C-alpha cells in the first residue's frame, strides 16, 4: 500500500452537495492543512435541491470561519454534471488533481426502475469520464508533453511538476451483492447477479476501474457502502421518508412484511472509512509479463450488525418522540402497514468489513440508536415541526 499525505494536496470530490460528499468535504476542511478541495455536483432535483444548497452553505461557512482559515485550505464548488465530458476534462486540466473521490451517482434502487436513463448517464458515462480524465492526468508525467497534431514530438526537460492522479476512490454499493444467500457479504463473494439496474451500474464501476487500473496503472479503490443514514441525509431513504410520512399522518409501508434486515451505517463512520482509504492507495507493481498488476482494491464499509426493519422502526419512533418531532401520544400502530417485497429489493444486507479493519484499522462503531437520535435532533432543528 502506498501512503498518501492529504495535506497540501489537490482533491476532487464529485457529488459534493450530496449527503456523503458534503460530509466528506466538511471533514477534509476541518482536518487538512494547505489542501485545495474542489467539489462538483449537478444539483439535480431527484430530491429537494434546497437540502443540497443548505449543505453547501454549511461548507462555505467553514471556509470563512476564522478558526478554519489559518489551515490554508481552499474550497471551490463547481455546478456541473460528471456526464459532461468537457466539464470534467476542463476541471482536470485546471487543477491537476492528486486524489479523486467519485461519489456522484444516481442513487436509489426503486427509481432505477422508473428512470433507467439517469443511471446510465451518471453512473456509467459519468464514471467513464472520471476514469478517462484520471488516465490522461499522466500525460505530462516524467517531463513528457503530449504531442500536438501536426507538430514534431517535443520533450520538456524541466523538473516534473505533476505526477497525475495518485488515487481514485469511488463509491460502489452493497446492492452489488443482489440476493446472496451467504452472509455476511464478503468482497471475495461473486457478485454476478444484480437484481436492479442500480446494482448493475455499480458493479460496472468496479469492472471499469479494474480495467483502467490494469491498462493504465491507475490506483483505484471501490467502497461498497451499506445503507448510509444520518442528519441531512437523503429524503428517499426509509428513515427520512418514514419521518416525513408520519408527520403528515400518512401510513408507512414496511416491505417484506417486516422480515428485511439492513446493515445500517452512520455517515460519520462512512466518512472515516473514506478518509482512511484515501490515504492508502493500492501499490503499483509489475508482473512477470512486464505489465502492471492492477493497483485495484474493493472494501465493504458497514457495521456488521443487521437490524430487523421492525426494530429499526421502533427505535426511530422512540427517537422522534424524544426529540419532539412527534407527540408522545402518537399512535404508531395506526400508521404502519406490512406489505410484500418491492422489485429490486433484497431481504438482507450484512457487511463483512474485516478487510477494512485489517488494512486501515477501522470498523464502523456508531449504533443505530445513537445515529437515529442525531438524525431526529437534526430534523427537529432543520424543519422545526410543531
Of the residues 198, 266, 299, 379, only one is catalytic, namely 198
Ramachandran sector of residue 290 (left: φ over 0; alpha: ψ -120 to 50; beta: rest) = left
Of 178, 240, 168, 196, give the one whose Cα is nearest residue 107: 196
Is residue 274 a contact partner of residue 222, using CB atoms and an 8 Å limit?
Answer: no
DSSP state of 66: T
Residue 147 C-alpha cell reads as 504531442
Largest CA distance in the chain: 80
Residue 68 C-alpha cell reads as 478554519
d(CA 311, CA 146): 59
d(CA 318, CA 373): 9
Host H or E run for residue 12:
strand 10-14
What is the radius of gyration, based on Cα positions, of the chain?
A: 22
Is residue 315 a contact partner of residue 268, using CB atoms and an 8 Å limit?
Answer: no
d(CA 197, CA 188): 22
Q: Report CA dihedral (237, 242, 248, 253) to the nearest 10 degrees.
A: 110
d(CA 353, CA 304): 7
Cell numbers 465493504 label which residue?
A: 300
Is 239 a residue of the active site? Answer: no
d(CA 101, CA 11): 8
Is residue 144 a contact partner of residue 156, using CB atoms and an 8 Å limit?
Answer: yes
Q: For 1, what's the count of Cα atoms within 13 Å in the CB-facing half-sphere?
A: 15
Which residues belong to the active site? 198
Amino acid at each position: 500500500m502506498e501512503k498518501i499525505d492529504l495535506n497540501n494536496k489537490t482533491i476532487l470530490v464529485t457529488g459534493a452537495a450530496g449527503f456523503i460528499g458534503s460530509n466528506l468535504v466538511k471533514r477534509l476542511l476541518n482536518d487538512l492543512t494547505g489542501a485545495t478541495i474542489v467539489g462538483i455536483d449537478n444539483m439535480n432535483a431527484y430530491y429537494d435541491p434546497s437540502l443540497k444548497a443548505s449543505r453547501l452553505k454549511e461548507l462555505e461557512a467553514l471556509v470563512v470561519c476564522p478558526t478554519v482559515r489559518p489551515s490554508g485550505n481552499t474550497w471551490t464548488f463547481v455546478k456541473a454534471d460528471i456526464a459532461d465530458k468537457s466539464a470534467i476534462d476542463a476541471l482536470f486540466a485546471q487543477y491537476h488533481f492528486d486524489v479523486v473521490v467519485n461519489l456522484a451517482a444516481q442513487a436509489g434502487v426503486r427509481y432505477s426502475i422508473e428512470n433507467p436513463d439517469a443511471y446510465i448517464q451518471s453512473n456509467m458515462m459519468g464514471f467513464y469520464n472520471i476514469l478517462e480524465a484520471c488516465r490522461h492526468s499522466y500525460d505530462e508525467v516524467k517531463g513528457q508533453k503530449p504531442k500536438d497534431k501536426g507538430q514534431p514530438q517535443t520533450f520538456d526537460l524541466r523538473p516534473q511538476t505533476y505526477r497525475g492522479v495518485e488515487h481514485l476512490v469511488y463509491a460502489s454499493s452493497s446492492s452489488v451483492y443482489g440476493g446472496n444467500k451467504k452472509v455476511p457479504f464478503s468482497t471475495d463473494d461473486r457478485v454476478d447477479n444484480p437484481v436492479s439496474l442500480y446494482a448493475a451500474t455499480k458493479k460496472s464501476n468496479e469492472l471499469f476501474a479494474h480495467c483502467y487500473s490494469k491498462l493504465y496503472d491507475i490506483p483505484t479503490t471501490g467502497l461498497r457502502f451499506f445503507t448510509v443514514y444520518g442528519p441531512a441525509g437523503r429524503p428517499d431513504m426509509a428513515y427520512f421518508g418514514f419521518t416525513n410520512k408520519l408527520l403528515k399522518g400518512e401510513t408507512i409501508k414496511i416491505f417484506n412484511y417486516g422480515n428485511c434486515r439492513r446493515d445500517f451505517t452512520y455517515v460519520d463512520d462512512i466518512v472515516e472509512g473514506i478518509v482512511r482509504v484515501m490515504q492508502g492507495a493500492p501499490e503499483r507493481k509489475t508482473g512477470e509479463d512486464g505489465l502492471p498488476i492492477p493497483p485495484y482494491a474493493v472494501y465493504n464499509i458497514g457495521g456488521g450488525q443487521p437490524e430487523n426493519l421492525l426494530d429499526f422502526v421502533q427505535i426511530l419512533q422512540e427517537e422522534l418522540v424524544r426529540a419532539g418531532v412527534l407527540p408522545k401520544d402518537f399512535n404508531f400502530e395506526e400508521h404502519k402497514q406490512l406489505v410484500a417485497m418491492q422489485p429490486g429489493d433484497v431481504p438482507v444486507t450484512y457487511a463483512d468489513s474485516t478487510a477494512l479493519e485489517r488494512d486501515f484499522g477501522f470498523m464502523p462503531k456508531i449504533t443505530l440508536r445513537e445515529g437515529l437520535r442525531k438524525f431526529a435532533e437534526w430534523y427537529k432543528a432543520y424543519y422545526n415541526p410543531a
